[in-house]
Structure 1
């Protein structure tokens, strides 16, 4: 098998610590969190104490100042364990970097330490009822009125939406300017006029709070604009999307590896017609095919991780990676459910949950159809 060369002894030690933490503090409670529709805040605080949140944030703001490989470890371990309710990836590696890269010194000092500690939980609000992959179509507005903006609009499918204390909101500060009129605003959920709607009932990711958000005349202080001036939001979003798509791919490959291993263990034990299911040629061939596909995905993903560490991961490559690995993830889950037979359709089996959780991977962070369009435009 092809060894992974990106992770040294320190990183593998960190991986062991994350894995043990998840086994002790998350796995035993995930069934209940699925019923609750969200994980506990206590998990976030414990993770913050141990340095599992926002590991790439500089020490000046309370982080470890580590490189993205540490975030990759956290993403992979959550995905490998099937703990899809835990929204640390978006909090640590999407929300926090927006503030780090584009925020003022005052914004960084105010919010980053709280995100690192788990005192505040972050979300980003892009999608609206009428605007998904087409970010230029957002209708939420932020109108400047003296020393503040008046924010109005609604968002949907927002990860961490119920628990979020701080939300980066995509809004139009100048609706006449199209993409050039989009800005990002830092909005606290405690502010008047900010209302959290229902926790959405999804096909999978049952423990992940995914919500509607409503803004009615929310007064957003002018100094909570992200960036030096209005109209920078669309460019900021485009610059950060490759990293987001890499995260989706890391989760996809780790989940595929886990599903393959669960299935191998199952078919070794499960008997049909007097012999293990693994003894049948079809089973062995299916697993062999999936192993080859997953290995190729792992190599592709690790190479893109290397490029990201070098600040060289471009938009088309990230789009290819996201599209290919998530398509593969759904294929792997479907084949593995089939090899489990009827038990693969039972919610108590990890493969059933993984199958349900996987489907949205081809939708969020830009649909896979949009990914293909991005790649095609690069020809």
Structure 2
């Protein structure tokens, strides 16, 4: 040992510049309008346009198709910074980024050439189409079927909680392709939303996560060309989707860090300004203890998220345990920090005039999305018991 062994937790110069660009954009163009646009239900079209200009729709698209080909830590930074300003704005390109990853990682050469250049620019937007009214965590329980009919599949079923369904041009849809002989065989079809029989039936009312719509849709005998079978091989859908969800969990973990940071920033700022008994409440030990706990847990969540992202980048393969840990812990921290920030604000924290009220409504989503936290605990435990997951660096 030469005494020079270190563990480097620092971002590189490119990542720092990327983060600063995103932070400036979020502070100047998203944060000032987020609460009002959410309250009035105004669709953030201007933010979408700026996301396109910044190339954020192409985060997971290879450079050869016009994308940013961002490393995994930069991918996490994007969602952390945008969600810090408004979780809804991060949703505008979150599921889209997972869809891009699915096509880039699993698509045929023709599928990549046809879709990725337009997805990279945001000209063609997307999401992920998995959940059904009777199947959420248990994706094997989906009922949507795709029956081969010549050079097409005929798709019949219903999906729910699909973000960006109304604005998407193409959606990766999880379907059953095995028929009666192999009822558990799942595949992913790239369904173009202009296809006859594809219909968004309604937008679901939500507690938080306003901005992007989350919708129910039906597929009524939608004819999808066989060449739109992701990867060109039936029965690989579950494997493809699980890989996508893992990348999505890094996305969700980073968003949770952003929401938690916003809650802390609001609490710290308010505690310095609000006076009680002739002193700022930040002088009182009860408030200081809350701030210390929040700051420590946010930093732990951030490091866990960056660790999962860097492991994903380094291995190039599955990091179920790391992504599960990051998503589970960061989302719980976001919920806790939103509540603690509300308590520090007192009565004002319950007012829609203060940002903490929105954060309190947004935070719970991340404990549910991309697999509930109880599911993440099972994923982590199975990785540990099987010996595939190891703690440490």
TM-score tier, shorter chain, comes to over 0.9
- Report the Cα distance in structure 1 between the residues aligned to 2:268 and 2:12, rounded to whole angstroms: 28
- The aligned counterpart of 2:265 is 261
SS at match of 1:53: helix
CA shift at 1:189, angstroms?
A: 1.1
- Residue of structure 2 aligned with 1:327, choices 329, 332, 352: 332
Per-residue deviation at 1:126?
A: 0.6
8 Å CA contact retained: 2:312, 2:318: yes
Mind listing any 5+ residue stretches in structure 1 that lack a counterpart? none
Mark the CA change 1:175 to 1:362 in structure 2 (over 3 Å): closer, same or farther: farther
Match of 1:93 in 2: 97
Q: Say whether the 8 Å CA contact 2:73–2:310 is kept in structure 1.
A: no
| Contact 2:42–2:211 (Cα < 8 Å) also in 1 | yes
- Give the conservation status (yes or no) of the 8 Å contact 1:37–1:208: no
Please give the per-residue CA displacement for 1:41-99, whole angstroms capped at 9, x wherever unaligned: 45334322332222342222111333223322211111111242442442453010100
| Residue of 234, 241, 256 corresponding to 1:237 | 241
> After the TM superposition, which of the residue ranges 173-182 and 185-194 deviates more from structure 2?
173-182
Q: 1:304 aligns with which of 285, 305, 308?
A: 308
Match of 1:271 in 2: 275
The answer to whether 1:252 aligns with 2:251 is: no
SS at match of 1:168: strand
Whole-angstrom distance in 2 between the partners of 1:292 and 1:279 = 19
Partner residue, 1:126:
130
- Structure 1 contact 38–209 (Cα < 8 Å) conserved: no
Spell out, residue by residue over 1:136-195, the C-alpha distance to the aligned partner (whole angstroms, 9 max, x if none): 000011111001011111111111122222111111112446685111010111111010
CA drift at 1:348: 2.2
Question: 2:157 pairs with 153, 156, 162, which one?
Answer: 153
Structure 2, unmatched stretches of 5+, are 1-6, 386-393
Which residue does the alignment assign to 2:110?
106
Determine which of 352, 358, 382 is the counterpart of 1:377.
382
What is the TM-score of this pair, normalised by structure 1? 0.93
- Number of aligned positions between the proteins: 377
Residue matched to 1:350: 355
Are 1:283 and 2:301 matched, yes or no? no
Structure 2 vs 1, CA of residues 174 and 301 (structure 1 numbering), >3 Å: closer, same or farther?
Answer: same
Preserved contact between residue 163 and residue 209 of structure 1 (Cα < 8 Å): no
CA distance in 2 between partners of 1:168 and 1:87 (Å): 17
- In the other structure, the counterpart of 1:208 is 212
> Is structure 2 residue 164 aligned with structure 1 residue 164?
no
1:39, distance to aligned residue in structure 2 (A): 3.3
- 3-state secondary structure, aligned to 2:210: coil
For the 8 Å contact 1:138–1:172, the answer to whether it is kept is yes
Question: 1:191 maps to which residue?
Answer: 195
The alignment yields a C-alpha RMSD, in angstroms, of 2.1
- Distance (Å, rounded) in 2 between the aligned partners of 1:266 and 1:17: 26
Deviation at 1:35, TM superposition (A): 4.9
- Is 1:363 paired with 2:368? yes
Query: Higher mean Cα deviation, 321-330 or 20-29?
Result: 20-29
Residues 37/195 of structure 1: CA separation in 2 closer, same or farther (3 Å cut): farther
CA distance in structure 2 between the partners assigned to 1:177 and 1:36 by the alignment: 50
Q: Aligned in 2, Cα 1:257/1:206: closer, same or farther, shift over 3 Å?
A: same
**Given the superposition, is the C-alpha separation of residues 221 and 243 from structure 1 closer, same or farther in structure 2, using an over 3 Å criterion?**
same
- Give the Cα–Cα distance (whole angstroms) in 2 for the partners of residues 179 and 276 of structure 1: 64
Deviates more, 1:231-240 or 1:127-136: 231-240
Post-superposition offset of 1:340: 0.6
Q: Give TM-score, length-normalised by structure 2.
A: 0.90
2:30–2:86 CA contact under 8 A, matched in 1 = no
Counting only pairs closer than 5 Å after superposition, residues 62-81 of structure 1 correspond to structure 2 as 62-81=66-85
Query: Which stretch of the first structure deviates more once superposed, 97-106 or 176-185?
Result: 176-185
